[in-house]
Each structure stands twice: as C-alpha cells, then as structure tokens.
Structure 1
Amino acid sequence: MQHIVTILIAILIFCIIVVIHEFGHFIAAKLNRIQVNQFAVGMGPKLLHFQKGETEYSLRLFPVGGFCAMEGEDQSSDNPNAFEKKPVWRRMTVILAGPFMNLVLGFLLIVILLCTAQKVPSLTIARFAETTNAAGETVTAAESERSGLQVGDKIVAIDGSHIFSTSDLIYKLQTTDTETYDITVKRDGKRVTIENVTFHNDNTDGLLDFAVEGKPKNPVTIVSYAAKDTVATAKLIWMSLVELVSGKYGLQDLSGPVGTVSVIEQAASSGDNFLERFQSVINLTIFITVNVGVFNLLPIPGLDGSRFVFLLIEAIRRKPIAKEREALVHFIGMAALFLLMILVTIQDVGRFFQK
C-alpha cells in the first residue's frame, strides 16, 4: 500500500511540474496572439476533450505530463497567428515562459513551506553549540566560534561565493572539498572577512556548529526569503550540472523517474508527523521543479534553451534557419536524451533490486 501511495504522489508531482511548464508556453502564446491548436494534460488516448475557440483542451490516459501544440511551431503555416509569423522577441518570450513557470512554482512552494514554519530563516548567527567541560563550566563546542565567528554575524559569502539562503549555506559546507573556509560576514554594519574558518560541532562531530536567527513571519520576510531561496536552489542545480560536466560526478550519480520515486518514498516517510512529511515532500518538489526549469534553459538540442538559441541566431542574421535543419538537430538531441534516460532508468532498476 505504501508503494502505491508513493507512486501516486510521484505521478502527481511529475504531472503538476510538466503541466505548469506547458501552461507557461500556453499563456505566453495566448498573450502574444499565437494560435494554440491543442493543450493537453497527460499523454496518450483522450479521455475527455472539448473545443473552446481555436484550442482543443484534453485530458489523456497517461498522467505523465502534457503538451501545448502551437500553429506553425514545427511546420510552415500561412496562418497570420502562427508561431513562425510572430516577431522573434515574441517567440522568445513563449519559449522562455515554460522554464520560468517552473521557477515560479518553486517560489510559490517555498512560500507555502514558510507559511507552515514558525519563523523565517536568516543567515545571522544566533548561537553556537555549547558543551560542559570537566570543571562543569559551559564552553563553546563550535570550532567556527573558536575560528573567529561571532553571534550576530550575518554570513554573506563563503570562499567568495555569495550565500543567498540557508539551503545555499548547507550545500556549500557539505560539498566543498576543503577543511577551512574564508567567511565574509556583515558585522556592526561592515563587511568583514574571517580567513581559515573551520566548522565542527564537538557534540555531534558534524559541520553545523551554530544556529541561525528566525525572523517573524510577515509578507515581506516570506516573499524576500522565498525569492532568495529560489535563486539559491537554481544556483545549487547549476553548480551540480557544472560539476557533472567537469567529471566530479558520473553517470552512476544520476537518477531517473524510478530513482526519483524512491527518493519521494523516503521523503514521504521521513518525519514524526504529517506536517513534517508534507514539508519533506514539498522540499523535494521544489528541487525537482527548479531543476526542470534550469535544465530546460540549457542549449541542448530538443530543450527550450536550444530553441531559444535558434531564435537568437535568427534575430542576429535576420533570417530563420531552415525548419528541416532545426528539426533534425532537435530530433538528434531528443534521441540522445531518451537514450540517457533509458540508461539511467536501467541503473535505477538495478539499484532497486539490489536493495
């Protein structure tokens, strides 16, 4: 029963993320007066469908995404409202609207999470870990305090990399292959850099040896932190992609839909109560939707980023590239992505049976 619930949650998450992406293309096309022939939720045979104006709306059998089919997107058309007939800048907004909506979804989910929390996190150090020595005195258990950090310091950057949120902070500390850091903080209104800072909690042997202040919840603090955390998540994903290309991570570190379902199951079962499990699933959904948004912006053939590059070339040379050539490039790119997905899925299935 637990596995069935997990699969249903995973399908719902995937469906929402893809539909939101396609809705971004859809609403941008409508705003730019581009004819949308079909907008579908799901794939495969139609279960329900109706026509409203120029667009057929449908609900399909397999809840694994959706699509937005625009007139003149892949084939030539004489329709004045066809995608290809609109100015380049309008087509660019339509292409970018899909990934943008994924980032918006991530932002809104972070807002929801913050509304369920008691306080809004900050980057200001509230207190350090403490312990009791042999004499019964309370002393610091935080190596970072012994390295020069102080209560009230607001962390601004680590090793020159700007820190936007606590997610950014934790990722930086956990993935950097070094024992010491140069920490830039805001102290008494001035920026101060403390060199060779070491993080170590004597009580837990972990890196996190301090706690941050929580700010009162209000629209300003929630929206501000949600925006920063969205940027931090996008930055985290971008850095992971760079590290993947550089060889720090390999194919064995990738996960496809099967692996993601396993992670969702872990998220859905972690926590002592429903609220904690809900927050865990929402956190994972935020990561997935921002991942989809950032990944789609990459100039990989078949993705929105590649389509944007073709439009950029058209804007520069004032002449579109032949649709046949562009279609061939996208076909090759999609074939390569599907092959990668198959390999990753086989790897995920192997891991599943090993467990």
Structure 2
Amino acid sequence: MKIIVALLIFGVIITFHELGHFLLAKKNGIVVTEFSIGMGPRLFSKVYHGTRYSLKLLPIGGSCMMLGEDEINDNEGAFNNKNVWARISTIFAGPLFNFILAFLLALFVVGMVGYDPARVVNVPEGSAGANAGLQVGDIITEIDSENVVFARDISTHFDFKPIKSQNPITVKFKRNGEKLSTTLIPDAEKRYMLGISYSPDSQGEAQITLLENSAFKDAGIKNGDVITAVNGTEIKTSADLSSYLGSHPLDGTALSVTFTHNEKSNTVNVTPRMTEWYTIGFNYNQGYEKTGVFGVVRYSISEVRYWIETTVKSLGKLFTGKVGADELGGPVRIVSELGNVVDAKEDIGIKNVIIILFNWGILLSANLGVMNLLPIPALDGGRLIFLIIEAVRGKPLDREKEGFVHMLGFIALMILMVFLFFNDIKNVFF
C-alpha cells in the first residue's frame, strides 16, 4: 500500500509537470503526438484532434511527446518550426506547473493547519536577545538581509549559516505594527552537545537531523533515524526526547541511545562533546496558528517560496562540497520516507498522514521545478539555455550539435540516477 501511495504522489507531480508542457504546446500551435498518464504499456488510448491520449500501466509519471522536438520535421506544427518565444514558454511551462501544483497543495495544508509565525516567545534576562532590545511578541521579519515569514525560516537560516563567532547579526522585526531594526551580538558559551536538531514540541516520532560535528554521527546514527530510548527511558515523541534531555543535563557521560534505522532497532553509546556554542538569545514560536482566507493565500505562496529557497540552498551546499555524496537521496529513499508516513497512520491518525503527505507533495513538486530549471543538458533548464542563446543570436545553434549535447546530458543523468539508486539501497536497507 505504501509503495502505491508513493508512486501515485510521484505520478501526480510528474504528470502535472507534463500537463504544463502540453497546455502551452497546444496554445502555441505545436502538434502534440501523445500525452500520457503513467509509463510502460498502454492500457487505454484514444486519438482526439491529432493527439493520442494514453493511460499506461505504471503510475510513475507521464509524458508529453511533441512533433519535431528532437528531430527535423517540415510540418509547420513541429516544435522546432515555431518561433523561439513559443518554444521557450512551452519548455518553461513544465517547471512553472510544478510551482503551481505546490501552491495548490499548500492551500490545503495552510488551510488545515495554519502557519508558524516568527514570533518571539521568550527573551532571557541578560541574553543576546535582551541586549539587542527584543521583546516577547516581536515578529521577526529579516535576519542578515534574508526575509523571514515563518518561524522555521529562522532555524533554516542558521542551519545553512551556522553562527560560528560573535560577529553582529542584523535583525529586523515588527512591534505593534512598527518596523524596527537591531544588531544582535550572539552569546558565546561552552557546553556539552549531542549535535542534533529535532522539533521539541512535536508529538510525532523523535526523528533527528544531524548537525555539524555531531556526536550521534560518530556513533553511527544517520539523518532521519528515530530515537526510541535514552538510558532505558522510552522515547515515543520528539516532546519526550526534549523532556528527557531537559531534565538530564549533559555532563560528558556517555548516553545509551536506542534508535531505529529502516525499522531495525539498534543501541549505541553516544558521548556528548564539549562544544563552543553561539546562541541568539531568544526563543521563537514552534506552533501553528490558523489564518483567514487571504492569509491562507499569502502563506501558501510563502510556503512555496520557502521550499524553492531551501532547495536552492541545498544545491549550493552540494555544489560547494558541504554535503557528502552519501547524504544524497533518490527515489528509493523518498519512497521509504513516504512509506514510513503511511505506516504511522495508527499512531497519528489518517488526517495527519494526509497533511504530511501533502507537505511532501509541496516539497517534491517545488524541488522538481527547481531541478528541472538547472542549466543541465536534457533538462528543461538546459533546453532553455539553448533557446535563450537562439533568441539573442537571432538564429538557432546547429541542431545536431545541440542534440548531441542533450544526449550527453541524458547519459550523465542516467549515471546519476544509478548512483542514487544504489546509494539509497545502501542507506535504506543497510
């Protein structure tokens, strides 16, 4: 069942992408030879106005086949015979429709659970936040020139740009509708740390993310593993983990940590590290609040923006070598994660499972849109680069040479997919 759900999610996202190409192709008078839902052998097909509409056996995507897209054709409706702007809009429509789908899914999620305002909820006396003049109730709107809409924008900012010194941080915020700005000097302290992050108020399972130089990583625990016990105390939720660590301060003594990795339970000893730690000196909201109709639309747009920016930043870490190849995830790992969500229906309820799956849909659709816009041959972004060059030059590049470049890009993508497949198998099953 969980594999079927995962395949359906992938199928809807990819089909919506192809629908974008299809609609703009029709709009621009480009002949679409076949539009299909699914892949593999045809289960059903019908030709209508020159286009074959097909339903295929495997629910793992779809396709939009255009006349003359990859070969020379004299038909005036062939893709390469249309003006360059018609071709640009047709190619760009695929990624654009992924962003539109992400927005539609976000409307449902934000409408159901609301949004997480970046509201200050605690400012300890004498802390960096207090010295900067922040007060409970302030709404953070910007950190070091990066916009903040959600509370998670704050944590994401520092995930990608960890505080490593007491260099000043510019914080903009609203107080009673007034826009204000301040400079915050991070607090510096040394304490024992485990090197993990998680949602401390969540009633979901205690799934962790490893931070830089994590003690958990040294013990063999991986990103996404779930903590189920610490020193013999059962941990059912992230809130349980937060409660345990809050009542048992770390002092350098090794902890016995039980965790599950791909439904296999393991117990290891984790020794906290003395770490120089920098803090912003205030706590911000971790919960969600409902909003009105206009708020739902506004924050749904921001939700898509959040995942686009997160994807771009993640790619930046990948291309600069800050993320190792073993941390890359492909379809197998995603199917595994989606399967874990489906399996949790008895613990968290069908409603929450649906909301989480929709959240995954937002993430994956926005991710696919961004990835397809990368200037890599064979992807939409690579095709757009050639078309933009044609628009600037006033004439196309050599078709055969362009086709050869796209073929090389396709081969490189297939090699990457094979690597991701085996990398997923290693991380998911071993």
Deviation at 1:197, TM superposition (A): 4.4
Q: How does 1:152-301 map to 2 (within 5 A)?
A: 152-178=137-163, 181-188=169-176, 189-197=178-186, 209-211=283-285, 216-270=290-344, 272-301=348-377
Residues 157-192 of structure 1, C-alpha deviations (whole Å, 9 max, x = no match): 222222243343332233432166442223351331
In structure 1, how many angstroms separate the alpha carbons of the residues matched to 2:5 and 2:322?
32
* 1:97 match: 93
In structure 2, how many angstroms separate the alpha carbons of the residues matched to 1:102 and 1:212?
28
In structure 1, how many angstroms separate the alpha carbons of the residues matched to 2:75 and 2:39?
27
Asked if the contact 1:24–1:97 (Cα under 8 Å) also holds between the matched residues in 2, the reply is yes
Say if 1:61 and 1:212 are closer, same or farther in 2 by CA, change over 3 A: closer
TM-score, length-normalised on structure 1? 0.87
Asked if the contact 1:40–1:58 (Cα under 8 Å) also holds between the matched residues in 2, the reply is yes
* 1:135 match: none
* 1:128 match: 122
The structure with more helix, counted as a fraction of residues: 1
Given residue 162 of structure 1, which amino acid in structure 2 is its aligned partner? N
Given residue 191 of structure 1, which amino acid in structure 2 is its aligned partner? L
Say if 1:89 and 1:199 are closer, same or farther in 2 by CA, change over 3 A: farther
Given residue 182 of structure 2, which amino acid in structure 1 is its aligned partner? T
Q: How does 1:57-76 map to 2 (within 5 A)?
A: 57-76=53-72
Say if 1:213 and 1:191 are closer, same or farther in 2 by CA, change over 3 A: farther
Residues 260-308 of structure 1, C-alpha deviations (whole Å, 9 max, x = no match): 1111123334562222222222112211110000010010111000100
Asked if the contact 1:123–1:213 (Cα under 8 Å) also holds between the matched residues in 2, the reply is no
SS for the counterpart of 1:299 is coil
Say yes or no: does 1:33 pair with 2:107.
no
Percent identity among equivalent residues? 34
In structure 2, how many angstroms separate the alpha carbons of the residues matched to 1:108 and 1:199?
43
Given residue 121 of structure 1, which amino acid in structure 2 is its aligned partner? D
Match of 1:78 among 71, 74, 77: 74
Given residue 183 of structure 1, which amino acid in structure 2 is its aligned partner? V
Match of 1:331 among 376, 386, 407: 407
Say yes or no: does 1:107 pair with 2:107.
no
In structure 1, how many angstroms separate the alpha carbons of the residues matched to 2:27 and 2:414?
32
Structure 2 unaligned spans of 5+: 190-199, 201-241, 247-278
Given residue 163 of structure 1, which amino acid in structure 2 is its aligned partner? V
* 1:55 match: 51
Say if 1:167 and 1:344 are closer, same or farther in 2 by CA, change over 3 A: same
Given residue 26 of structure 2, which amino acid in structure 1 is its aligned partner? K
RMSD, matched Cα: 2.7
TM-score, length-normalised on structure 2? 0.73
